[in-house]
Amino acid sequence: MTLYRTSGDSPIVASLLHAQEQGKQVAVLVELKARFDEAANIEWAKALEDAGVHVVYGIVGLKTHSKTALVLRAEGNTTARYVHIATGNYNGKTARTYEDFGLLTCDPAITDDVGELFNFLTGFSRIGKYKKIMVSPLSTRTRVIELINLQRDRGRSGRIAVKVNGLTDPTIIDALYEASSAGSRSDSKSARCARFVPAWPDYRRTSPCTAWWGVPRALEGPHLRHAR
């Protein structure tokens, strides 16, 4: 699994240590560049390594920001795979105050993809081709723009809903403006910063938006909406 930010009394880490003690094979990617949690993550990594867990520290030059777990379980004569993919950190404290999304699945297409991802992250294989999941910096940006353009091509029947922690990518913002100027309804919810001008009829970028109904609207709430 990947550990980006966890709490001081983490039940997740305790469960990983217990699994290792029970003779299970445990591999954990600990991100040492997690903002504000660098020291805590170093301590967790050391504790896991001391217990015999296979600990890796991500890809050189990149921050591993994903929150993903893969469990392989013997069921009869087969090995079943279960995957958890989430927007929230495996952190018992923030889980009580943050709003997040999580997917727990045994869909073979997704579990195969996540298995390939972990093989890459732990150094057992090169970058794979993924059928279902989007992996940054390989494919997420391209696929998001493709999905926006699909709705753009539907004109006034198009509907785009974006929920992010921040929206700052110029290419994606331009794609949203293009979709809006084509008539698609675009609602963007950003927890922190959004670098477009919401509901601004005279705003000009590479793609002009000239109608109030066709410009993305930014909605920002008072609570920490952590889902993306």
* Catalytically annotated residues: 65
Beta bridge partners of 73: 80
Closest C-alpha among 89, 116, 121, 112 to residue 102: 89
d(CA 176, CA 188): 9
Beta strands at 102-105 and 78-86: parallel, antiparallel or unpaired: antiparallel
| Cα→Cα distances 7→71, 86, 227, Å | 21, 17, 19
d(CA 211, CA 54): 56
d(CA 51, CA 218): 47
Judged by DSSP in three states, 63 sits in: coil
Contact 106, 83 (CB under 8 A): yes
